[in-house]
Amino acid sequence: MHPLSSPNAPAAIGPYSAAIRSGSFVFCSGQTPIDPATNKMVDGEIGPQTRRALANLEAVLKSEGLSLSDVVKTTVFLKNFRDFPAMNAAYGEVFGDHRPARSTVEVSRLPLDALVEIECIAEVNTATS
């Protein structure tokens, strides 16, 4: 088991890793819509925030040679479930035809008052890694 991080994603802000590879799986901690270049929340509503959170996840995955197409499961945390349709549209744009398993839940509050946080599990293709 070894920790992963990426200079193209926000650094962990507590005693945890951005991701851990264990066997053929990568478990990514939740990513919020923080722009790693500025360390600030991206402007905008749920669509831009969803795209940024997924871009942060993809940056962490790339550190292990993976992409969002290797994701097998996501969990989406929404501050307000009324944002589900717009989050779902942005999520679908980013994932394209790839459809990992997903859970979506409403939570009372997210770090830095983000509207969304997304975590994922990806599978490493052991034939190529």
C-alpha closest to that of 99 among 77, 125, 68, 129: 68
Domains, in order of start, for the chain: 2-123 (3.30.1330.40)
pLDDT band at 127 (very low <50, low <70, confident <90, very high): low
- How far is residue 52's CA from residue 81's CA, in Å, rounded to a whole number? 19
How do residues 93-106 score in pLDDT, each as one tens digit?
Answer: 999 999 999 999 99
Tens-place pLDDT, residues 45-66: 999 999 999 999 999 999 999 9
